[in-house]
């Protein structure tokens, strides 16, 4: 009888142990399944968050304040112009968001160089000198040349007539570079101004005999602003293309979208409509 009771106790203990082992294994398996599910969910949420962050990025575009007809404020207080409309069309075509910061030429360049803005859009001429300095340009969106302008009653009719005179230029522009390249040959001096309106007034008020800027800019300002200035035919430079410019390779994604958008709006006629709106070409 004692042997029988002992055997029965051993059997019960074995069954109990097996049951405990099964429960432990099951709990472990369930825990692993839960952990795996949570890990997968976390990874999916992280990926979704990354996609959302990328799609919600707002690119900062630095522009000049007054550079008619490319960027300026109209009578209703709206910031308009060729650059503004091209940016809008390209962004809509490529589906990216942007914010314009109207800073003035010098401040706009400085903002992009300092990483406070992502791209410069201000009638920036594409030059080898700027490329060597680290500017990374988009495809061209407009070709322009530089030209001299004088007061309406001026007798200056050629570059030779500028000898001994003062020419006004806007700091850091293609016009300034063009004037600097000619000053020794034609014997004039150069005064530098911060913006176009101040430069124009320098000529109108007699502080300078001429000024230099992009031909479409100068022609538009003389016409729409009723400025007492006239262009001097025969003083034009060779044509130079305009481009968007970044100064940080990490913004190449934006430049790629800009190039794709420019190609699309040129192909579908939107680009021609924008240019015709402002300069009738």
What was the pLDDT predicted at 217?
Answer: 87
What was the pLDDT predicted at 27?
Answer: 46
For the chain, 281 residues long, the average pLDDT of each consecutive 10-residue run is: 39 40 43 43 46 70 92 93 97 97 94 97 93 97 95 97 98 93 98 94 98 91 92 93 96 97 98 89 48
Residue 260: closest CA among 276, 244, 273, 249: 244
Sequential DSSP letters for 19-88:
HHHHHHHHHHHHHHHHHHHHHHHHHHHHHHHHHHHHHT-EEEEEE-S-BTTTBEE-TTS-EESHHHHHHH
**Cβ atoms of residues 193 and 202 within 8 Å:** yes
What was the pLDDT predicted at 22?
Answer: 40
Span 63-73, pLDDT tens digits: 999 888 999 99
Q: How far apart are CA 171 and CA 150, in angstroms?
A: 19
What was the pLDDT predicted at 55?
Answer: 56
Query: Which domains are assigned to the chain?
Result: 55-143+241-279 (3.40.190.10), 146-237 (3.40.190.10)
Span 183-223, pLDDT tens digits: 999 999 999 999 989 999 999 999 999 999 999 889 888 98
What was the pLDDT predicted at 280?
Answer: 65
Count helices and strands in the chain by DSSP H and E runs: 9, 14
Element (H, E) at 144: strand 142-144
Q: At CB < 8 A and 24+ separation, what contacts does 267-274 make?
A: 270/89, 271/86, 271/89, 271/141, 274/82, 274/85, 274/86, 274/89
**Cβ atoms of residues 199 and 176 within 8 Å:** no
What was the pLDDT predicted at 35?
Answer: 44
Furthest C-alpha separation in the chain: 138
Q: How far apart are CA 90 and CA 264, in angstroms?
A: 8
The three-state secondary structure class of 202 is helix
Residue 120: strand pairing partners: 62, 245
């Amino acid at each position: 009888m004692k042997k029988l009771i002992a055997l029965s106790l051993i059997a019960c203990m074995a069954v109990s142990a097996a049951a405990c082992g099964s429960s432990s294994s099951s709990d472990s398996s369930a825990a692993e399944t839960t952990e795996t599910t949570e890990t997968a969910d976390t990874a999916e949420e992280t990926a979704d968050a990354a996609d959302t962050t990328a799609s919600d990025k707002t690119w900062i575009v630095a522009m000049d304040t007054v550079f008619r007809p490319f960027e300026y404020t109209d009578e209703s207080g709206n910031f308009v112009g060729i650059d503004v409309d091209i940016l809008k069309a390209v962004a809509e075509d490529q589906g990216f968001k942007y914010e314009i910061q109207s800073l003035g030429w010098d401040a706009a360049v400085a903002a992009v160089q300092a990483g406070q803005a992502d791209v410069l859009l201000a009638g920036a001429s594409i030059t080898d000198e700027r490329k060597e300095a680290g500017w990374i340009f988009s495809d061209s969106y407009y070709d322009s040349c530089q030209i001299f302008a004088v007061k309406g009653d001026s007798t200056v009719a050629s570059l030779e007539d500028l000898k001994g005179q003062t020419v006004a230029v806007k700091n850091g522009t293609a016009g300034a570079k063009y004037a600097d390249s000619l000053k020794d040959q034609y014997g004039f001096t150069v005064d530098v101004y911060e913006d176009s309106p101040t430069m124009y007034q320098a000529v109108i008020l007699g502080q300078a005999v001429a000024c230099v800027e992009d031909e479409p800019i100068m022609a538009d300002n003389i016409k729409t602003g009723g400025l007492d200035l006239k262009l001097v035919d025969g003083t034009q430079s060779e044509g130079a293309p305009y481009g968007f410019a970044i100064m940080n390779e990490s913004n190449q994604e934006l430049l790629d979208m800009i190039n794709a958008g420019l190609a699309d709006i040129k192909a579908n006629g939107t680009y021609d409509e924008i240019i015709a709106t402002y300069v009738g070409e």
